[in-house]
Structure 1
Amino acid sequence: MSKRKLVIAQNIEKELQGQVKNIVPDWEVIVGKDQETWQKHVQSAEIIAGWKKDMSAALNAASSLRWVQSWSAGVDSHPLEAFAERSIALTSANGVHAYPISETIFAMMLSLTRKIHAYVRNQQSKTWAHEHLKLELHGKTAGIIGMGAIGKETAKIAKAFGMKVIGVRHSQKPEEFVDEMVTTERLNEVLPSCDYVIVTVPLTSETHHLFGEKQFHTMKSSSFFINIGRGEVVDESALVEALQTEKIAGAGLDVFEKEPLPEDSPLWELDNVILTPHSAGSTEHYDKRLIEDIFIPNLKEYLKGEAPSINLVDFDKGY
């Protein structure tokens, strides 16, 4: 009888590999990011951690696949319909990014507020200029769109700056460090009150172009827009127009409608924009948190015949 099989299509440290193998000592465990390592195993794998677009063989009729652990928090790039049709459980990496992404959010907010990005440019050209520095972060209002792990950690840090926090999500359930919680339907009502608008939501049919011309016209002309969620949540042409005409003061962007960001995008040239290449979630602790905090607890549940419960994706919602 052939062994049950687990594929981890990532290059993880030996120590983490050992932790997983100790839980499934009788399983065949294949580890490695290179396609040659996992390609011939995907059809016979019962569990795959680190889904790749070239793993379609795992979805044919003869496949043994029962559970996929995503290596990212967003799952919009996964074949959700196929997973749902075949009753394949999908769990995300939600929560792994809370610290690094919240740090990136505040790096952008502080840089835009205190003109650090402008001074870095001046340093490169040896220009001594004040850049009309005057704004403070303390006491301002942050609107956080999406109150998952990243949103919660961002709210916590905001309170250390004495900020008022408005949270926007599907329910009005109260959250620690959030002064006011509203539903997504009230987004346009609260935008005029926000000095910083921070987008952390995943991409779904409901969040596609959640921010467009109307939203940017509703925001304060002194407000800053931060997007670390997904590029397609924003109508990029509307954002560019808002930035060029100073309908908003500036933006910090880690995600874009098309990635890599095309060289002819106006965003590259705007002085009131900070761009990072979808790297906000990068951290030295990524694999360790994913394996120890999400995958191993879920694996233990799976071995008991239970559905993995941490970050189990609801296919109807798309996250």
Structure 2
Amino acid sequence: MKIVSLKRLGDIESELKNKYPDLDFSFFKKAEEIPEELKKELDILIGYSSGVDKAFIESCPNLKWIAWYATGVNNLPLEHIKEREIILTNTRGVQAKQLAEFILAFILDDYKKMRTSYINQKEHKYDSTLTGRRLDGEEILFLGTGAIAQRTVKLLSPFEVEIVGVSKSGREKPGFNQTFKIEDLDNIIGEADIVINSLPETQETYHLLNQSHFKKMKNEALFINVGRGTIIAEEDIVEVLKNRLIRHAYLDVFENEPLEADNPLYNLDNVTITAHITGNDVSIKKDATEIFERNLDDFLNKKEVNENRVDLDKGY
């Protein structure tokens, strides 16, 4: 059985070869480096690469399973994968640890006015009247109640905040004071002090938000997006911020990536931009491979996997 990695995995490579001596492992830096002959023979693909598109998968007639080393799978040709009956797994839950810490960092950076302090430092300005805000009593609305939100809720619990969530099902989740269905969003978004999007990209979430939602939000509200940039059209989020419908936004994801140098978002002073880095984690390869190994053991014995299998109809 041939297993091909789309990423170099460092010391993990020799560990895999030693643990599974009967399997044939190959490791590359990106999809484009994989020889055509090997594509024709490989059984399992692991890792992550933007080069995995429909044409790439069509060139892999033997492919049975993609172990994707990321949570989001929206850029993969899901319909084609479904037609081929290829198993797809992801690393759902692993990146939630890093994402949750980023979300907390964004909130505290904003509420404690750390950006203003840094600007003052650069301008040699000493302002002892600068006053931050406290989190206790604030209402935080999560769009999505999955692994990212649940991990963040644990970090937020000591701050005595009110946690509200919306999801497709509206099911109750531990740590949430209230949960609602997405259909109720219009009625509750105006109550939140902080709105955090952690939803994946699906047909239901594509452009879920528009300017009318932000008009209903508090003028002092904070918006954080670490889910997918397609939750709102780029021109809409630009207009929202230009017109100061909310106080500030922290954006890590965008409808069109990478963000071009002339993008109008760069010129706004009420947005903080990070370059889709909130899921980057030095431990991700190790954690993702542990999931892969557990699934591999099942696959070798039963030709099936149990952990983090993606529902190809739902897209997550």
| TM-score calculated relative to the size of structure 1 | 0.92
User: Cα deviations across residues 157-196 of structure 1 (Å, max 9, x unaligned)?
Assistant: 1212111100111123221111101111111111111110
Q: CA deviation at 1:60?
A: 3.2
1:61, 1:161 → 2: CA distance? 52
Q: CA deviation at 1:143?
A: 0.5
Find the counterpart in structure 2 of residue 255 from structure 1: 253
Are 2:228 and 2:254, in contact at CA under 8 Å, matched by a contact in 1? yes
Are 1:58 and 1:64, in contact at CA under 8 Å, matched by a contact in 2? no
Alpha carbons of structure 1 residues 212 and 36: separation in structure 2 relative to 1, 3 Å: closer
Find the counterpart in structure 1 of residue 304 from structure 2: 307
Moved more, 124-133 or 232-241: 124-133
Note the 1:120-135 alignment, pairs <5 A.
Answer: 120-129=118-127, 133-135=131-133
Are 1:143 and 1:197, in contact at CA under 8 Å, matched by a contact in 2? yes
Find the residue that maps to 2:142 and give its secondary structure: strand
> Where in structure 1 are there 5+ consecutive unaligned residues?
none
Find the counterpart in structure 1 of residue 284 from structure 2: 286
Are 1:254 and 1:279, in contact at CA under 8 Å, matched by a contact in 2? yes
Alpha carbons of structure 1 residues 269 and 132: separation in structure 2 relative to 1, 3 Å: farther
Alpha carbons of structure 1 residues 259 and 59: separation in structure 2 relative to 1, 3 Å: closer
The alignment covers a number of residue pairs equal to 314
1:121, 1:279 → 2: CA distance? 23
Q: CA deviation at 1:130?
A: 5.8
User: Cα deviations across residues 22-48 of structure 1 (Å, max 9, x unaligned)?
Assistant: 453211100121457533322211000
Question: Over aligned residue pairs, what C-alpha RMSD do you find?
Answer: 1.9
Q: Tell me if 1:9 matches 2:3.
A: no
> Where in structure 2 are there 5+ consecutive unaligned residues?
none
Find the residue that maps to 1:304 and give its secondary structure: helix
1:69, 1:216 → 2: CA distance? 37
Are 2:2 and 2:44, in contact at CA under 8 Å, matched by a contact in 1? yes
Alpha carbons of structure 1 residues 58 and 34: separation in structure 2 relative to 1, 3 Å: closer
Are 1:226 and 1:252, in contact at CA under 8 Å, matched by a contact in 2? yes
Moved more, 131-140 or 224-233: 131-140
Find the counterpart in structure 2 of residue 138 from structure 1: 136
Are 1:168 and 1:187, in contact at CA under 8 Å, matched by a contact in 2? yes
1:169 aligned residue (167, 170, 192): 167
Letter of the 1:307 partner, please give it. Answer: E
Q: CA deviation at 1:205?
A: 1.2
Q: CA deviation at 1:124?
A: 1.7
2:29 aligned residue (4, 27, 33): 33
Moved more, 243-252 or 264-273: 264-273
Find the residue that maps to 1:251 and give its secondary structure: strand
Q: Tell me if 1:20 matches 2:24.
A: no
Letter of the 1:281 partner, please give it. Answer: G
Q: CA deviation at 1:108?
A: 0.9
Q: Which runs of 4+ in 1 moved over 6 A?
A: none
1:39, 1:188 → 2: CA distance? 51
Find the residue that maps to 2:145 and give its secondary structure: coil
Q: CA deviation at 1:270?
A: 1.9
Q: Tell me if 1:101 matches 2:96.
A: no
Find the residue that maps to 2:66 and give its secondary structure: strand
Q: CA deviation at 1:106?
A: 1.1
Note the 1:213-292 alignment, pairs <5 A.
Answer: 213-292=211-290
Letter of the 2:20 partner, please give it. Answer: V
1:316, 1:25 → 2: CA distance? 35
